[in-house]
Every structure is written in C-alpha cells, then in structure tokens.
Amino acid sequence: MHMDNKKEELFKIIQKQLKNPPVIIWGSGATIPFGLPSMWALNELLKKEIEDFDENCDNLEEELGKPKYEDIMPEIKKVIWQAVADKDELVLQGIIENYNAEYKVVECLVNKFVDVHPRVLNIITTNYDRVIEHILAYSGVNYTDGFSGKNLSVFNENSFPEESSVNIVKVHGSLNWFMLDGEIRYLGKSDIYAPQIICPGKNKFQETYNSPYRELIQKSDSYINNAKSFLVVGFGFNDEHLTPRISKLIKKGVPIVVITKRITESCFKELDKAEKYVLLEETDTDKTKIHYKMNSSVVKQEEIIDGNYWSLEKFVEII
C-alpha cells in the first residue's frame, strides 16, 4: 500500500478510536516540551540537594518509599516543589510574552473534544505544574480543578460540572495548594506555608486518604470507569493507582490512544492486554512508529510514518 494511503488509514483508525470525547490522562512527559522537569531530572536534583540520597538511584518512586526519608519528606517536597514552580513560572511568562503555536496546541486539543455535546472534557493528571491551567485561562476556556481559582479558596468536590467545562483532576496535588491552619487552600505562591503535593514513593497512599486527595481519586475513578475512550499523553503507566483502573477498562474493549516520545516497558505491558489501541512514539528523526491493534481477534501491527505525530503539535492535526 502507498505510504500516504497507509498514513490516511492509520489516521482514520485514531479518529475512530477517539470519536467519543476521551478521558485524557496527562503525564509528566506532556509538559517536558514546555521545560518542566522530567522524573529523571528530579531524581538527579535530589541526589545533589538531599543528604544520604542514593547516588545510584534510578527509580525515584522506589527510593522515596524507603523509611529513611520519612522525617525529611517536607524538605524533599520543597526541593521538588521549587524545581517545578521555577519552570512553571517561566511557562506563564512565555504565555504572556508570546502566546505562540507551542501553547495553542493545548488549547486546540481541548477545544476539539470540548466542542462535542455535553461540552465537557475530563483530564486526569499526576502533574503538579499548571501548564494546562495557564493555557486555558489565557485562552478563555472554562475549567475547574475543584478550587474556585481565587486566593484562599478551599476545595469543593461539587465544583466539577457535567457539562460546558474542562475538569482537571490533579490526583497528586498542585503547585498552588498549601496547608493553612490545618486546611488545604489555593494560594498563588507562598514561602511560609507547606506545599501540598504528593511526592512519588510508597507513602503517597497514606496521604491520599486525606481531603482533597481522597475525593479527587474517587472523581478520577468515576471518570475512568465511565470513559468511552482514553487519550494518554506522556504518561508512563507507572502510577499504582491509575494504571490498574485504566487496564481494567481497556481489557474490556475501551479504545486507547497513547502519544509519547518513548514507550515505557510498563506501557507495553498494560497495552498488551488491551483489545483496541494505537501507540505513537518517536523513532528516527521526523518519523513516528505506530503500534496498533483493532480488536482482540486481530494481531498487533506496526508502521513507521513520516512526521512527528508522536508529539502533541503534530498529533492535533490528525484529530
């Protein structure tokens, strides 16, 4: 088959998989192109900043689960928070100074799906950064993260509408959530109060029992269970809560499309169980490798096409 025809056929498969607005799973890989630190970068930073941090560590989640870090977790949180906050601030400046195609691509992605009745899009993210929020606020798209967006507001689980909104569920917290007098409140920035982000590590499950994380996880479970399809951007399938829930649905035939620079082993392992999937990853310069399966009775296939369709910028052209 001619390459252009093959490309067209693959694009039609992707469009079909995402015909019903998907639940978007937005991972750390989605914001690396905006300058936000990767898990690897945070790992390297902690090696420098935290005493006794294992120099040979290559799995941050595993390392931070060790009991020796329990007492210094607030310090570790501050290091991670600062690293993400510094880059997040640069994204905000960039949007204000020059709202270009790099940012518009996120607005474009959201608008493509939110235009369909009931005009609601649910995004679940493990990220602390506010890249999506900055872009949607700048472009005038209505969204909520459970807070009213006003300084000192508190979380309200009833503020996720079922129509005419983008709902952003931040299961591991956000840069602008701080503990004030025993309550988590929304605050632009603070050098005084403790940032409320949940760090990687085995202890994160204890933290998720507290509000607002408990309600956010229930909300993410509900969105996943009711998903008609999934679009996964830069998420490595290493999260011990979200991964099994997504897996359960894709095994039953809910279609999933994954775009990422490099597919992780965990991703391949989970997608192997899926009935219908399309995975796009970078291969050679300006080329994309597509792994796909149409249904449970068809063998998985692979194609390499011209263009960086594994990146959000090119991917939105398909949908």
Q: How far apart are CA 228 and CA 249, in angstroms?
A: 9
DSSP E strand boundaries for the chain: 23-26, 120-125, 143-144, 165-170, 173-180, 183-186, 194-197, 230-233, 256-260, 277-282, 287-293, 301-306
pLDDT (tens place) for every residue of the chain, 319 residues total: 556 788 999 999 999 999 988 999 999 999 999 999 998 999 999 999 998 898 888 888 888 888 888 889 889 999 999 999 999 999 999 999 999 999 999 999 999 999 887 889 999 999 999 999 999 999 999 999 999 777 889 999 988 988 888 999 999 999 999 988 888 999 987 888 888 999 887 666 667 778 899 999 999 999 999 999 999 999 999 888 899 999 999 999 999 999 999 998 999 999 998 999 999 999 988 999 999 998 877 889 999 999 999 999 999 999 9
Give me the long-range contacts of 56-60 (CB less than 8 A, separation at least 24).
Answer: 60/200, 60/201
HSE-up of residue 69 (Cα within 13 Å, Cβ side): 25
CA distance 40 to 58: 8
Q: What is the DSSP string of 154-217?
A: B--GGG--SSSEEEEEETTEEEEEEEETTEEEE-S--SSSEEEEPPSSTTHHHHTTSTTHHHHH
DSSP 264: -
Domain locations along the chain: 3-318
- Please report, in angstroms and rounded to a whole number, the separation of the first and last CA atoms in the chain: 22
pLDDT of residue 204: 64
Strand pairing of 165-170 and 120-125?
A: parallel
Tokens 């503990």, residue located? 179
Angle at 122 between CA 117 and CA 123, to 5 degrees: 145
DSSP code for 22: P
Query: For the domain 3-318, what is the CATH code?
Result: 3.40.50.1220
Tell me the C-alpha distance between 205 and 207, whole Å.
Answer: 5
Cα-to-chain-centroid distance, residue 62: 20
Characterise 277 by phi-psi region: left (phi > 0), alpha (psi -120 to 50), beta (else): beta
Report the half-sphere exposure of 107 (CA within 13 A, side-chain side): 16
